[in-house]
Amino acid sequence: MLSIKDIPWAQLLQQNNYHPSPADWSDQVIYFLMIDRFSDGQEDGYHDVAGQIVQGTTQLFSPADAGNAVRSQAAIQDWQSAGATWLGGTLKGITSKIGYLKRMGVTALWISPVLRQRKGMDDYHGYGTQNFLEVDPHFGTDQDFKDLVASAHNAGLYVILDVILNHSADVFQYNTVDTNGNFYTPGWSGAAYPVLGWRDPNGVPTLPFPAPVNRADTDSAVWPEELQAADAFTRKGNIANWDARPETTEGDFAGLKDIHQGTGPLSDYQPSETLRTVAEAYQYWIAYADVDGFRVDTVKHMDLGATRFFTSAIHEFAQTVGKDSFFLVGEITGPRGEAIRTRDETGLDAALGLRDVQQYMVDAVKGWGNPADYFEIFRNSAEVNKPSHTWFRSHVVTAFDDHDLVRLDKEWKARFAADQDGRELELAILAMNATTLGIPCIYYGSEQRFDGKFPSDLNPTPDKEDRPDRYIRETMFGAGFGSFRSRDRHFFDERAATYIEFAKILAIRKSDLALRRGRQYLRSISDDGSSFWYPNRIGEGRMTSIVAWSRIMSNREVVCAINTDLTATRTAWVTIDARLHTVGAKFKCTYSTDPTHVGSPTSVEGRNGLAISVSVPPAGFIIMTP
């Protein structure tokens, strides 16, 4: 389709069997994957949704395959270059792995943008849309997308689509020669720049701007055709000062062209026809594909009024097809307070990308920070004007790794498991992410301990501006850019220890309301049962300690704990709620990374009010239930 007017609304809305929203999104476990990097459907030996083994051409990774892509300088360059371009993941590939995801305990998929990208570009990530009404052929067809969503629903999984309304692809070129014949770089100055022309299929600005483009020329300019209007884009050049308004909302995002969204203050915002067009395009994908939510990209770079208009338009439309809790989560990078205010003022359901949430979680588990810093985020509800810290459970999506890692230096990015400490503690952070407040979001490959990091020891040749990002975007299906410096080996290994143990933890979370919705408290601990303290990093070294917390729902308390010590089991007394328990009452170990501990009891004793004794294996995790 090439126009909003082409959408067959009457035909689409005849169906009345749209998948309903979940009762509470805080019950869900989200798994974020990049389409191009997840699966091409050609893997050998994986299990389908029915548990049957499927034959294919790509063999399963084994430790002996680590480094098989970097055994010569030429191979290193090939591996590096492959990571910056399309690798072949498809929508059908994702559909083939629904069983892998369901058996892990995932309940919702967040998939990277699916829409058509500009021809000839290496926009494998999907964030440079050229046609808002068509699936990119690299990924498959519109029907493939619809089939994926249907398969997910049949397996009990929801689907959240990554969407962009702040910008399009680089679909036109500025006139970069001034009246004196001198070249210049179009940076934001507050004024609109002259445009040389729409880009044709070869990326050359040969087509008149803003004249409408011939409908046969679908690889040129931008579609739907309503976006070819003269005022559809701000045309004010690239952002240089990322925290300065209005530059950050009017400027082009890394060369992608900023969409003119509207004008006016939040209280009287006037959405542009362009914004209305984009909103209607995304309403179409709800009606056509039956998706359950959107992750809204780059909210920081949008007018608050534009975001509020979009959330209202989407929520209202979703309700007309029976999706009463259609999920809108906004990427709002930066401080927590600002992100929460943005969420409140725009009607977004949740915020994602809060820098302090990610960093404090990582530091708490690796022992480089104080655990209280992480837990205080959720305890101090007054800081963000909320009546209770349980508010966070369904309004903040928590993650420790993702495809951008904007909290890290742009020249050096790495996954949690990039170092040895992280590899050993990967299950511990997955467990903390899953059993603390917020909606947990797992980045693909974490369950296989992907180690993505910039390979400075290989002296790679920089050839792209996004050179650090590619190394945290390895493929699950191998191809030319697998994790652990590998190629042509897949990672859909349901026998991997981290996958197995994480699946057990998620199964317990699913069955225990306290772990999904309960109040949360960091607990004081003691070595001797007399002196109690909160775990705290002292000096310059790592903190090696048990970190324990409680989740309380009504009158039921569940205790969780990790051990940041990599080599030794640690035992400690953990304070519990004295109003809910009595001396002599029993807790039992419901889960431990040491299976011999599962089922073992411990008695409540009168220490620091009341406390129980727990033992946590090295780099391990436990769950204790009454």
Q: What's residue 333's pLDDT? A: 78
pLDDT higher than 90, residue 386: no
Does pLDDT of 609 surpass 90?
yes
Q: What pLDDT, on the 0 to 100 scale, is given for residue 460?
A: 63
Residues of the chain with pLDDT > 70, as a percent, come to: 96
CATH pick for 517-625 out of 1.50.10.10, 3.40.250.10, 2.60.40.1180, 3.40.50.20: 2.60.40.1180
pLDDT, mean of residues 494-520: 98
Query: What are the Cα distances from residue 558, in Å, to 4, 168, 275, 509, 581?
Result: 51, 47, 47, 11, 12
Contact by Cβ (8 Å): 205, 196: yes
Selection from 292, 520, 298 nearest residue 392 by Cα: 520
**What is the structure's pLDDT at 388?**
52
pLDDT tens, residue by residue, 3-12: 999 999 999 9
| pLDDT, tens digit (0-9, with 9 covering 90-100), for 242-255 | 889 999 999 999 89
In this prediction, residue 175 carries a pLDDT of: 95
pLDDT at 373 over 80: yes
The count of other CB atoms within 10 Å of the CB of residue 611 is 24
> Is pLDDT of 537 > 90?
yes
Residue 230's φ and ψ, nearest 5 degrees, are -60, -35
DSSP line for 232-275: SB----B-S-TT-TTHHHHSBBTTBEEB--EES-GGG-EE-HHH
Q: Which residues contact 589 (CB under 8 A, 6 or more apart)?
A: 597, 598, 599, 600, 601, 602, 622, 623, 624
Q: Is the pLDDT of residue 205 over 50?
A: yes
Could you write out the DSSP letters of every residue in 490-510?
E---TTSHHHHHHHHHHHHHH
CATH class (in words) of the domain with range 4-170+262-507:
alpha beta
Q: What is the DSSP string of 265-301?
A: -GGG-EE-HHHHHHHHHHHHHHHHH---EEEETTGGG
Q: State the chain's mean pLDDT as an integer.
A: 94
Average pLDDT over residues 582-603: 98
Which two structure tokens, joined as six digits, stand for 28?
Answer: 């869900």
Q: Which helix (H) or strand (E) holds 197?
A: strand 195-198
**Each residue's pLDDT tens digit, 408-466:** 765 678 999 999 999 999 999 999 999 999 999 999 999 999 999 888 788 666 554 54
pLDDT band at 382 (very low <50, low <70, confident <90, very high): very low
Determine the pLDDT at residue 340: 83
Asked whether the beta carbons of 136 and 97 are under 8 A apart, the reply is no
Residue 410's pLDDT is what? 58
**What does the pLDDT read at residue 514?**
97
- Between CA 92 and CA 100, with CA 96 as vertex, the angle to 5 degrees is 140
Token pair, residue 88, equals: 């072949």
Residue 614 has pLDDT above 70, yes or no: yes
**What are the domain boundaries of the chain?**
4-170+262-507, 517-625
| Residues 6 or more apart whose Cβ sits within 8 Å of residue 70 | 76, 79, 455, 458, 485
Query: What pLDDT is stored for residue 381 in this prediction?
Result: 47
- What local confidence, expressed as pLDDT, does residue 154 receive? 98
What residue spans of 542-603 are helical by DSSP H? Answer: none
Residue 226 has pLDDT above 60, yes or no: yes
| Distance of alpha carbon 483 from alpha carbon 471, whole angstroms | 8
Per-residue model confidence as pLDDT tens digits over 245-301: 999 999 999 899 999 999 999 999 999 999 999 999 999 999 999 999 999 999 999
- The upper half-sphere exposure of residue 514, i.e. CA atoms within 13 Å in the direction of its Cβ, equals 18
For residue 516, give the nearest of 393, 359, 371, 365 by alpha carbon.
Answer: 393
pTM for the structure as a whole: 0.96
| pLDDT classification of 391: cutoffs 50, 70, 90 | low
Regarding beta strands 115-117 and 129-135, do their DSSP bridges make them parallel or antiparallel, or are they unpaired? Answer: antiparallel
- For residues 24-33, give the mean pLDDT: 98
Q: What are phi and psi of 561, to 5 degrees?
A: -155, 145
User: What's the rounded mean pLDDT across residues 576-586?
Assistant: 98
